[in-house]
Amino acid sequence: MQKNTENSREQKLPCGRLVTVPLDKQKQDNAKKFEIWKEQLKNYLEQNRLKYSEQRWKIAKLILGTKGHFNAQEIVQEVMKTHPGIGPATVYRNLKLLCDARILKETLVDAHGVAIYEAYDELHHDHIVCLDCNEIFEFHNSKIETLQAGVANEMMFTEVRHKHVIYAKCRYKKKKV
């Protein structure tokens, strides 16, 4: 049985399934990540003749501080909790900016059709979306990866990227009973 560790904790889903939620990794790692993101944002703004400001970075940092998979609404609520002066429109605008700068990406739409974001630099993985509790699970299967690249290859394409999302009904409860 898995227990809570320094870097993760367990969370019980409505179906009873236990998932491991990563907590803030070592502070050092995060600090380094934020430095890279800041540079990336500055470069993007410069290339597009947009102005960098500390206020812009402050909002970006609030958005990037959110771990894992999240939707825009969650970010708006999170930001407004600590910074009531920052309105939803500003958050949405900066969310789009971070996607354009390839710091974040729109990774899938959830069980309700809502766009879900995550960091652009995460190692490649695919997703299963639970249609019962809307939880998002990550997986990586090298056979699927190879097959997908093979299909593209047979059709005279070179695969650049893909999104593979499985929407599924949860069988966890039935299994347990």
Residue 135 touches Zn ion, criterion: CB under 5 A = no
Stretch that binds Zn ion, among 3-11, 79-87, 94-102, 137-145 (CB under 5 A): 137-145
Q: Which residues of 5-36 are buried (b: 16+ CB within 10 A; e: fewer)?
A: eeeeeeeeeebebeeeeeeeeeeeeeeeeeee
**Least distance CB 107 / Zn ion (angstroms):** 6
- Per-residue DSSP letter, 88: H
**Least distance CB 161 / Zn ion (angstroms):** 9
Stretch that binds Zn ion, among 24-32, 38-46, 72-80, 126-134 (CB under 5 A): 126-134
Stretch that binds Zn ion, among 20-28, 39-47, 49-57, 125-133 (CB under 5 A): 125-133
Q: Which is nearer to Zn ion, 28 or 142 (CB)?
A: 142
Residue 138 touches Zn ion, criterion: CB under 5 A = yes
Q: Which is nearer to Zn ion, 29 or 46 (CB)?
A: 29
Count residues contacting Zn ion (CB under 5 A)?
4
CA-to-CA dists, residue 145 to 124, 126, 137, angstroms: 10, 10, 17
d(CA 16, CA 130): 13
Residue window 145-164: x/- pattern of binding to Zn ion, with contact defined by CB under 5 A:
-------------------x
CA-to-CA dists, residue 116 to 73, 105, 125, 156, angstroms: 10, 8, 14, 31
CA 92 to chain centre: 15
CA proximity to 45, closest of 2, 3, 94: 94
* Nearest residue to the partner Zn ion, using Cβ: 126
d(CA 17, CA 174): 11
Residue 126 touches Zn ion, criterion: CB under 5 A = yes
Q: Which is nearer to Zn ion, 58 or 140 (CB)?
A: 140
- Interacting residues with Zn ion (CB under 5 A): 118, 126, 138, 164
